[in-house]
Amino acid sequence: MPARSRLWLAAFPLLLAGSIASLMAEPPTGLARGSAGDLPAAPLRAGAGIQFKSPVCDFGRVAAGTVVPCLFQFSNAGDETLLIRDVTTSCGCTSLGDWDRVVAPGQSGSLLVQFATSNFNGTVYKPVWVASNAAGQSNTLLHITGTVWLPVECIPAAAGFGVLGSRSARTNQLVRIVSNLPEPIALDAPVSSSPCFRARLQTARPGREFLLEVATVPPLSNGVNSAVISLKTSSAQLPVLTVPVWAIVQPILIVPPQMFLTRNTNGEPATLSAAIINQAEQSLILSDPRINLEGVDVQLCELLAGRRYRVDLTFPAGVRLPEAKQVALRLRTNHPDFPAIELPILAPTIRD
């Protein structure tokens, strides 16, 4: 064997021992022990900075009526003090708890928002806005989302009869009641809070689905009629089921219900028009149209005998409504409940 080969073989164990020793030595400067894969912390940005752990609070699936607490955690990623100036939500269903208003650089804080699920069903999405002094991010948008389910669902949620033309109107609405509970449910006979409405319950699928028939009981009142239909249930989660009911009796409909006279600067008369619609069974007769403002020309036109009218008001050029009195168009009618009707004339509100 050549001499060079013998020398290499003799030195090989020493080289191998040196390589193993180097692998077992301390790691290079800049990486902590046991965290060789971690990156060094990012430097703080200039000015105040806001960074949320997550801008979305997903509460999953909850039963209606649950108050869901949503905690948003954030940190100050800047080199100046972070000031949380304001937090606003989109509706009264969300209420604000306390939050950290002053956060030092590199420190963290939290914001609590509570979401009341009582009037919701299905997927919900609620925004929350955070105003701060964060550089380039003075307004941060957060989201609250999840699914709300009803133990017992009413379809539709209320029995609305809309606008009726007569106090003697007889009509009905059907509300489907569906139980989403795992166990069967029993419902007692419905009870109405007003004599103007009655309700009757039918079973569609025993323990699972029911039909609630709600009907008007004349005479109704002019204007808004409302009530609540209550049904006791066998479920501890929902001891009483309630269904809102409403109907509006409005025999004479005026469109629009009020007029706005804008200031005319082109030197020409201004004309406003309104439609008067009879929704009652009897024929409507209008007469004696008057307005308590001088110089206004009033024209009443019957478009459909006893059913539909149009009134045109022509105001002189440059006319202004007086501030000391309410200007209105008044007409006489042959309706026993509404011997006269009135249409207010208003000046639009100008905001600075």
Catalogue all structural domains in the chain, each as residue range(s) with its CATH number. 50-149 (2.60.40.10), 152-249 (2.60.40.10), 252-346 (2.60.40.10)
* pLDDT (0 to 100) of residue 350: 52
Q: What is the pLDDT of residues 295-329, one digit of tens each?
A: 999 999 999 999 999 999 999 988 888 887 899 99
As a whole number, the mean pLDDT across the chain is 86
Task: Give SS3 for 179.
Answer: strand
Strands 108-116 and 67-76: antiparallel
Hey, what are 268's tokens?
């020409």
Distance CA 81, CA 103 (A): 6
**Do 284 and 254 contact (CB within 8 A), yes or no?**
no
pTM across the whole model: 0.63
Residue 17 phi/psi, 5-degree rounding, is: -65, -40
Query: For the chain, what's the residue count?
Result: 352
Name the stretches of the chain with pLDDT < 70: 1-44, 264-265, 349-352
Q: What is the pLDDT of residues 99-147, one digit of tens each?
A: 999 999 999 999 999 999 988 888 999 999 999 999 988 899 999 999 9
* pLDDT (0 to 100) of residue 121: 84
* pLDDT (0 to 100) of residue 45: 76
Looking at beta carbons, which pairs linking 319-323 to residues 24 or more positions away fall under 8 Å?
A: 319/261, 319/264, 319/270, 319/293, 319/295, 320/263, 320/347, 321/261, 321/293, 321/345, 321/346, 321/347, 322/293
**Do 227 and 193 contact (CB within 8 A), yes or no?**
yes
Q: Is the dihedral of CA 179, 185, 190, 191 positive or negative?
A: negative
